[in-house]
Amino acid sequence: MVAAMRIVIIGNGVAGMEAALAVRNREPSWDITLVSEESDHFFSRTALMWVFSGQMSHRDIEPLERDAYERLGFRRVRARAIGVDTERRQVSFAGGQEPVAYDRLLIASGSRPRPGPWPGSEARGVGHFVTLQDLDWYEREVHGGTSLAGGPPRPRLHATGRSSDSPYRFREVAAERRGRLAQQPAVIGGGLIGIEAVEVAVTAGLRPHFFIREEWFWPIALDPKEALWISDRMAQHGVEVHLEHEIEALDTDSDGNVVAVRTNRGRYPSDCVVIGIGVTPNTAWLAEAGIDLDDRGGIVVDEGLQTSVTDVFAAGDCASVRWFDGTRRPEQLWYTARDQGRVAGRRLLGDAPRYDRGTWYNSVKLMDIEYTTAGLVNWKLDGEENWFFEEKGRVRSTTRIVTQGGHVVGFNMLGRRWDHSVLTRWIEERRTLDWVLRHLNDAAFDTELVPRLRVRRA
């Protein structure tokens, strides 16, 4: 019989919640406290775009029923943590809230949007698309308010103890100040959050500017041919795609509302600007805690997700873990946060599991084009070769298979659905290109009635 522990978890995102569930699953009587500045309920950050468009309600993006805290006996603290005293084992809060003591602590404080480095980045009408509060701001700018299913419950509860630096602060809305909704949004940053912010603006009937610094869209994942297809599709939907644009400043009017984006190539009038240039670990509040951070601000953890301090663990976007290539950095993904949360939960219970990241994979939808990737793509490996096939029939798709030394090391697939678990297995089994092409449809995950892919070998 283990003595009852007081578990405190900072963050009720997927990492924090999975850990809390893992603990509760085994220890019905332990004291579990979940701290969140952002929201009362656990919700899926990945789903913000659908709330914006009206495809889902706030309730729909919450994976648990709203009585989950009561039913599972989780203590809810809705406040901003401002420090950890690892000597006295307690967490302190803004707004004069009592500190909370712990025996074991998990930090799962996620990421925060990287702020824009340009003049005007903090103007009224400029924001991000990462937190619930960002969603609230963007909806007010474009739609004038949340959709019919209502806002999140008690959204402004934590107004006390807010700071102008918090990623969970509410922003002033230029549309409300002007008395006119945004007509010409602009999105800066050609990554995944950027394309989501663009797509939802299109759904609202607008024609957003999309500023991308690189030569083509999303070069870490796509090659020029693949990216061209995506850019064309965006243009068809009314997006003004601007490649190779360096932002210089965001111009404001005398009232402080944003009015234009200035780049090295011109000035583009805009009345609402979303900056989507990436996220960084949300760990500034730990500066004084004496917990080791890496140079990106990620919390350094060992393979069991323990930080440099005993009984303090970290999981999810804020943790800097060792990757398969030996480097150390945060993994800013939903499913890795989920898996890390499960491992951290077992650490909080006193087990000694290891967090082991297998072969890389991911999937997203770029506008309406589905994308699956696995293994090493666009790594510019020594002697790598890329086999490319474009299908233009009833189904339009592209298939790119990367080989090195005769073995398949990566897949990049657009337009069809693939089972990445089969693709990663083939990579681990070091299959040849020939073998893979013969068996390719064993990894097909298309819906029924969709004709199978037939590749022609050049």
Partner 1 sequence: MDQQGQNGLLATYREGWRNRSVVGIAFSALLVSFYVVLYWEHKVHQHLGIAPLTAISEAAGLRNRWYLYGALYSVAMITGGIYYLRRHGNSRYNRFRITVNVAIQVALGFTLPFIMPLFGGQELYFSYFWPLKYDYLYPQTLADLPLYFALYTVVGSLLAAPVLAVLYGKRWYCSWVCGCGGLANTFGDPWRHLTSKSTKSWRFEQVSVHLVLFIAIATTFLIGLDSLIGAEHPTFHRIVVGEHWQDWSIKSFYGFTVGAILAGVIGTGLYPVFGPRVWCRNFCPMAAVLGWVQKIGRYRIKVKPGMCISCGNCSTYCEMGIDVRSYAQADESFTRASCVGCGMCAHMCPRGVLKLENTWDRSEDKERQKLSVVDF
Ligand X SMILES: Cc1cc2nc3c(=O)[nH]c(=O)nc-3n(C[C@H](O)[C@H](O)[C@H](O)COP(=O)(O)OP(=O)(O)OC[C@H]3O[C@@H](n4cnc5c(N)ncnc54)[C@H](O)[C@@H]3O)c2cc1C
Judged by the rule CB under 6 A, the positions of this chain that interact with ligand X are: 10-16, 35-38, 45-46, 48, 80-81, 108-111, 129-130, 193, 196, 282, 285, 316-317, 332-335, 337, 364
Query: Residue 32's binding partner, choosing from ligand X, partner 1, none, with beta-carbon cut-off 5 to 8 A by kind?
Result: none
Q: How far is CA 268 from the centre of its chain?
A: 28
3 state SS for 311-325: CEEECHHHEEEECCC
Give residues with Cβ within 8 angstroms of 322, minimum separation 6: 303, 328
Q: With respect to partner 1, which residue has the nearer C-beta, 269 or 451?
A: 451
- Of 97, 89, 20, 111, give the one whose Cα is nearest residue 291: 89
State which H helix or E strand residue 186 sits in: strand 185-188
Terminal Cα-to-Cα distance of the chain (whole angstroms): 65
Is residue 352 part of the contact set for partner 1 (CB under 8 A)? no
Q: How far is the CB of 155 from ligand X (least distance, A)?
A: 13
How many angstroms separate the CA atoms of 384 and 332, rounded? 27
Query: Residue 435's binding partner, choosing from partner 1, ligand X, none, with beta-carbon cut-off 5 to 8 A by kind?
Result: none
Q: With respect to ligand X, which residue has the nearer C-beta, 262 or 329?
A: 329
How many angstroms separate the CA atoms of 46 and 170, rounded? 20
Q: With respect to partner 1, which residue has the nearer C-beta, 267 or 452?
A: 452
Q: With CB under 8 A, what is the number of residues at the site for partner 1?
A: 64
Is residue 306 part of the contact set for partner 1 (CB under 8 A)? no
Q: How far is the CB of 50 from ligand X (least distance, A)?
A: 10
Task: Report the amino acid identity of residue 33.
Answer: T
State which H helix or E strand residue 412 sits in: strand 407-414
Which of 65, 70, 325, 382 is close enough to bind partner 1 by CB under 8 A? Answer: 65
Identify residues 210-249 at the interface with partner 1 (CB under 8 A).
237
Identify residues 357-416 at the interface with partner 1 (CB under 8 A).
361, 363-365, 368, 370, 372, 394-396, 416
Query: Residue 77's binding partner, choosing from ligand X, partner 1, none, with beta-carbon cut-off 5 to 8 A by kind?
Result: none
How many angstroms separate the CA atoms of 225 and 227, rounded? 5
Q: Is 448 exposed, middle or buried (0-12, 13-18, 19+ CB in 10 A)?
A: exposed
Q: With respect to ligand X, which residue has the nearer C-beta, 334 or 387?
A: 334
Return the structure tokens found at 254: 């005398």
Which of 35, 84, 107, 200 is close enough to bind partner 1 by CB under 8 A? Answer: 200
Q: Strand (E) positions, 253-395?
A: 258-263, 266-269, 272-275, 279-281, 299-300, 312-314, 319-322, 328-330, 361-366, 369-375, 384-392
Q: How far is the CB of 186 from partner 1 (least distance, A)?
A: 19
Q: Interface with partner 1 by CB under 8 A: which residues?
A: 14, 17-18, 21-22, 24-25, 44, 46-47, 49-50, 53-57, 60-65, 68, 71-72, 143, 147-149, 199-200, 203, 237, 334-335, 338-339, 342, 345-346, 361, 363-365, 368, 370, 372, 394-396, 416-421, 445-451
